[in-house]
Structure 1
Amino acid sequence: MEIYFLGTNAGVPTLLRNVTSVALRLLEERRCFWMFDCGEGTQHQVLRSPLRLGKLEKLFITHLHGDHIFGLPGLLSSRAYQGGTAPLAVYGPPGLKSFIELSMSVSQSRIPYKLEVVEHTGGLIFEDDQFKVEAALLEHRIDSYGYRVTEKDRPGSLNAELLRSYGLKPGPQYGVLKSGRDVTLEDGTVIKATEVLSAPKKGRIVTVLGDTRPCGNTVPLAHEADLLIHEATFKHELAKMAHEYYHSTTIQAAEAAKEAGARQLILTHFSSRYGPLDELLPLLDEARTVFPNTLLAEEFRLFPVMTD
């Protein structure tokens, strides 16, 4: 499980940074990736990355401001040309479906794969045997949501040496034991799964927030998350401006991570007033005074989601 940033700027693209888009790579877990937001030019960013649109399984939109959705029509219409024939599910606030349908209709674009658009107003929006995704409303000029992705606990590892001592070789019975069920051998010997299987591996939690100023749902969404991705549009000296524009400062993002008990914080959605990396470093230093385990989002860089 890894995070890959495709766009980290707020409002408009610049020569240094594109507008918002974040990929959650799940290559080992699902052989795919999920995307959060799709600002203008996102498909160009994908072309410059190791990601392939054919592997895009789910796309989550935080809110309907242009810097978060203007790349969506182009990406959806060209996905098939990059091998994207598998179904794609897109989740987001009410209005998302009409935006997509109108864009595709007016441009006479054809989508040759199954596209499911799921509009929501928060709550549990997806769950299967591996993951669940929950959403909650934040505080922005329009409805903006944060997403909490929870990986379910995974089975522990089998003790191969102990299994060999029973004369058991890799095969279907390994799968039975891996699922937590006991196995009875031909001689009547019962191999208990609890004796050959280590403790379950705790699933990871990633929280991706849309644009927001400090609000009540931030901390519950990020509660004990292994990674929190939080906007930090301004330095804290511009806290008044941040509040007026419904955005957050570095200190506010760090305070949210600290209160939530998150393990790591990555700042993103930087104002265009901040140029190259050396102008962003003061934002990082500021956040670290409150939450030391903070990083700056960087486009085309992988961030592993760690459990420790």
Structure 2
Amino acid sequence: MELIFLGTSSGTPTKSRNVSGLALRRAGARAWCLIDCGEGTQHRLLHTRLSPMQLDTLLITHVHGDHCYGLPGLLASAALAGRTAPLRIIAPAPIAAFIECVARLSDLRLDFPIDFVPVESLQAPLAVQDFTLEAVALSHRVPSYAYVFTETRVEAKLDVTRLTAEGIPAGPLWGRLHRGEELEFEGRRLRGQDYRLPERAPRKVIIAGDNDSPALLAEAARGACLLVHEATYTREVAERLGPAPQHSDAERVARFAEQAGLPNLILTHFSPRYQDGAGSPHIDEIAAEARAHYGGRLVLARDLDHYRLSRQGELETAAPRRAGRQP
């Protein structure tokens, strides 16, 4: 599984960070999913090899502008590029009205169908590319959601013990059963699926929208390999601002990830007040606070960072695949 961060700032962009956007796909696949689409997301895409033409599903966590204002522009660019394939959009119901309003007022013509799925209507897991998708309601000033992706294509191995016990000889028959075929053997009908065992548990990734209560993800976190969650502030700043913003601080998220036993944690959506270069407060303050309360693999995302989640569920930095020079 691959994750490419297209924006990691909250509220407004900075010189080094755009507002929210994250690409997810199965490693090496052309089709991909986009979670959130803040203003300027399509410009960030120009620095990757991701194409709006191969975008399969676009998901919005909530209606705040730093998570959705880039949506009309991305749709318009896809139309101008000649896209005709349907695009599925999963988002809070008001996003449909937002798209319709912008299209009407700006004379935007989309020559491809949009399959809009209100996230509020998701009552059962939904198939999305190589994953099943579930949504979890969060706590924010407006309805906000986390998207839980669980892979569906897991490598299988043969149940050698059963094959041997049933007297099925090794060789071409085993190969056909491993491929999932059905075949006749000594008057019996053998089904490949009956002789295949999963090599590992399916990987599960949680990508959360804005949320001041990480504990709402406790059930979803069971068996998850990775949580991507906002850490807009340090605890000191969050306490000074009070509860009104309804954002999480680094300590709160880190404590939850530690208690939930999550092996990998990526923090994102940082307040523009935190500096990447010289200056104070510095982004390292968020990192230090999180590390004090979490012992797993911790990453603070940067724009255009590219990560892979190995088959064993280990988070790895991937070589960047960019179409041009990093801005």
TM-score range, shorter chain: 0.7 to 0.9
Q: Which residue of 1 aligns with 2:86?
A: 87
Runs (5+) with no aligned partner, structure 2: 315-327
Superposition RMSD in Å: 2.9
Q: Which residue of 2 aligns with 1:116?
A: 115
Q: 1:15 to 1:125 in 2, by over 3 A?
A: farther
How many Å apart are 1:86 and its aligned residue?
A: 1.8
Q: Equivalents in 2 of 1:81, 1:266: separation in Å?
A: 34
Q: Which residue of 2 aligns with 1:23?
A: 23
Q: Equivalents in 1 of 2:139, 2:33: separation in Å?
A: 24
3-state SS of 1:53 partner: coil
Q: Does residue 208 of structure 1 match 2:213?
A: no
Q: Equivalents in 1 of 2:182, 2:277: separation in Å?
A: 55
Q: 1:190 to 1:92 in 2, by over 3 A?
A: closer
How many Å apart are 1:37 and its aligned residue?
A: 0.4
Amino acid aligned to 1:237: E
Amino acid aligned to 1:18: N
Q: Which residue of 2 aligns with 1:106?
A: 105
How many Å apart are 1:301 and its aligned residue?
A: 1.6
Q: Which residue of 1 aligns with 2:298?
A: 294
Q: Does residue 150 of structure 1 match 2:154?
A: no
How many Å apart are 1:284 and its aligned residue?
A: 1.2
How many Å apart are 1:84 and its aligned residue?
A: 3.5
Amino acid aligned to 1:213: D
How many Å apart are 1:123 and its aligned residue?
A: 4.4
Q: Equivalents in 2 of 1:138, 1:8: separation in Å?
A: 19
How many Å apart are 1:112 and its aligned residue?
A: 1.1
Q: 1:142 to 1:169 in 2, by over 3 A?
A: closer
Q: Which residue of 1 aligns with 2:317?
A: none
Q: 1:122 to 1:138 in 2, by over 3 A?
A: farther
Q: Structure 1 segments of 4 or more deviating over 6 A? A: 187-192
Q: Does residue 260 of structure 1 match 2:260?
A: yes
Q: 1:231 to 1:153 in 2, by over 3 A?
A: same
Tell whether the 8 Å contact from 2:154 to 2:198 is kept in structure 1 after alignment: no
Residue deviations 1:247-304 (CA, integer Å, cap 9, x gap): 0110111122123222200000000111216721221121111112211111112111
Amino acid aligned to 1:57: D
Q: Which residue of 2 aligns with 1:183?
A: 183
How many Å apart are 1:47 and its aligned residue?
A: 0.9
Q: 1:126 to 1:86 in 2, by over 3 A?
A: farther
Q: Equivalents in 2 of 1:87, 1:221: separation in Å?
A: 30
3-state SS of 2:150 partner: strand
Tell whether the 8 Å contact from 1:212 to 1:248 is kept in structure 2 after alignment: yes
Q: Does residue 46 of structure 1 match 2:49?
A: no
Normalising by structure 1, we get a TM-score of 0.86
Q: 1:149 to 1:195 in 2, by over 3 A?
A: closer
Q: Equivalents in 2 of 1:132, 1:195: separation in Å?
A: 23
Q: 1:117 to 1:190 in 2, by over 3 A?
A: closer
Amino acid aligned to 2:299: L
Q: Which residue of 2 aligns with 1:59?
A: 58
Aligned length: 300
Q: Which residue of 2 aligns with 1:227?
A: 226
How many Å apart are 1:195 and its aligned residue?
A: 9.6
Q: Equivalents in 1 of 2:82, 2:201: separation in Å?
A: 33
Q: 1:85 to 1:263 in 2, by over 3 A?
A: farther
Q: Which residue of 1 aligns with 2:2?
A: 2
Q: Does residue 166 of structure 1 match 2:167?
A: no
Q: Which residue of 1 aligns with 2:321?
A: none
Larger relative helix fraction? 1
Q: Equivalents in 2 of 1:149, 1:51: separation in Å?
A: 19
Runs (5+) with no aligned partner, structure 1: none
Q: 1:64 to 1:199 in 2, by over 3 A?
A: closer
How many Å apart are 1:229 and its aligned residue?
A: 0.4
Q: Name whichever of 76-85 and 240-249 sits farther off.
A: 76-85
Normalising by structure 2, we get a TM-score of 0.82
Tell whether the 8 Å contact from 1:27 to 1:33 is kept in structure 2 after alignment: no
Q: Which residue of 2 aligns with 1:280?
A: 283
